[in-house]
Structure formats: C-alpha cells, structure tokens
C-alpha cells in the first residue's frame, strides 16, 4: 500500500509540474506576442511638420538663405521650382468649391495613400499626412472610396472613405 501511495504522489507531482510549466509557457508566449505585434509609434520627421505662413520672411530650417542654398534641415529643391523666391509668401484667395464638394481633414493617424482609381490595385499617386486639409469631390458607387483634390493644386485621386472628417 505504501508503494502505491508513493507512486500516486509521484504521478500527481509530475502532472502538477507539467501543468505549471505549460501554463507559464502559454502566458509567456502570449505576453511576447502581444508586445511584438503592437505597432510602434509613427515617427514624425522634421520634413513632415507643417510650417505656418507668416507675414514676414520664413525663418524655418527649410528656408533658403541669402545665397539661395537650402538650410541644414531642408530637402533639395526640384528642378522645376522657380529660383526667384520672393520674401513674402503668395497666398491664393480661396476659390469656390464645386457643387457637392466640401473641405475635410485627414483623421487617420498614419496618413492616407492617394490612388489613381477607387481600388487598392491602382497606381499610388502619393501620400497625405495626418491632419492635412483636402477637398472631397465625390464618393464611389459602393461608398468605400472618396475622390479628393489637394487644395491649391489640380492633383486629384481616391482615398478610402471614413478616414476624413468634414471641416465646417
């Protein structure tokens, strides 16, 4: 009887040890998967921050100095940019919107991808940053996409619906 009781204690101890190891392995793996699958915070680079338009010359890091060179934090200018930059910024008067169009801003924290057509397989035209203003022109027939235009330009494209909110 003593041998049978000792064998039963041994089996119970091994079973309990396997259960504890299995549970700790499960929760350890769950913790690691949760930590590794969380998306990291989106970095914000100096080139992405919007520079407010002022009445005087621009004093930001992206401004050109007197020699026409780009400042330390600025990007290289495009070849088609007019090199005769005036000290006062040119602000276009707001043009009236087409019937049914309205102004909106991007509310998707990672920004949006503007496409040539209302489908993910169409060509990407560029990106639109978070909180950037756009003009919503129309919706697709299935209401999953909206056609937008960037203010101050003729660039039009499609973005997923639900990632913008109307501005007054």
Whole-number Å distance between alpha carbons of 122 and 139: 17
105: Cβ–Cβ under 8 A, 6 or more apart, which residues? 131, 132, 133, 134, 164, 165, 167
> Averaged over 61-81, what is the pLDDT?
46
pLDDT at residue 92 tops 70: no
> What's the pTM?
0.45
Q: What value does the mean pLDDT take over residues 3-7?
A: 90
Looking at residue 90, what is its pLDDT?
A: 56
At 136 the three-state DSSP class reads strand
- Domain boundaries defined on the chain: 1-38, 96-168
Q: Once rounded to an integer, what is the mean pLDDT over residues 17-34?
A: 92
User: Do residues 92 and 53 lie in contact, with contact meaning Cβ atoms separated by under 8 Å?
Assistant: no
Confidence check: pLDDT of 69 > 90:
no
The model's pLDDT over 152-167, given as tens digits with 9 standing for 90+, comes to: 888 899 999 999 999 8
Which segments of 30-115 are extended strands (E)? 102-106, 112-115
Write down the architecture of domain 96-168 according to CATH: Roll (2.30)
Tokens of 64: 């050109």
Burial 24-51 (b: 16+ CB within 10 A, else e): eeeeeeeeeeeeeeeeeeeeeeeeeeee
Residue 59: per-residue pLDDT? 44
pLDDT at 38 over 60: yes
Q: What is the pLDDT of residues 105-115, one digit of tens each?
A: 999 999 999 99
How far is Cα 121 from Cα 90, in angstroms, rounded to an integer? 37
């Amino acid at each position: 009887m003593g041998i049978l009781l000792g064998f039963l204690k041994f089996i119970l101890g091994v079973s309990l040890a396997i259960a504890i190891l299995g549970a700790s392995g499960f929760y350890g793996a769950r913790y690691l998967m949760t930590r590794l699958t969380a998306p990291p915070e989106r970095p914000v680079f100096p080139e992405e921050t919007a520079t407010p338009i002022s009445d005087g010359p621009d004093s930001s890091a992206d401004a050109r100095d007197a020699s026409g060179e780009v400042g330390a934090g600025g990007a290289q200018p495009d070849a088609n940019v007019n090199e005769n930059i005036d000290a006062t910024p040119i602000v276009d008067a707001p043009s009236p919107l087409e019937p049914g169009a309205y102004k909106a801003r991007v509310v998707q924290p990672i920004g949006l991808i503007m496409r040539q057509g209302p489908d993910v397989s169409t060509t990407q035209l560029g990106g639109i940053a978070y909180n950037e203003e756009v003009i919503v022109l129309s919706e697709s027939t299935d209401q999953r996409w909206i056609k937008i235009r960037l203010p101050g330009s003729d660039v039009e494209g499609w973005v997923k619906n639900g990632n913008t909110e109307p501005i007054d």
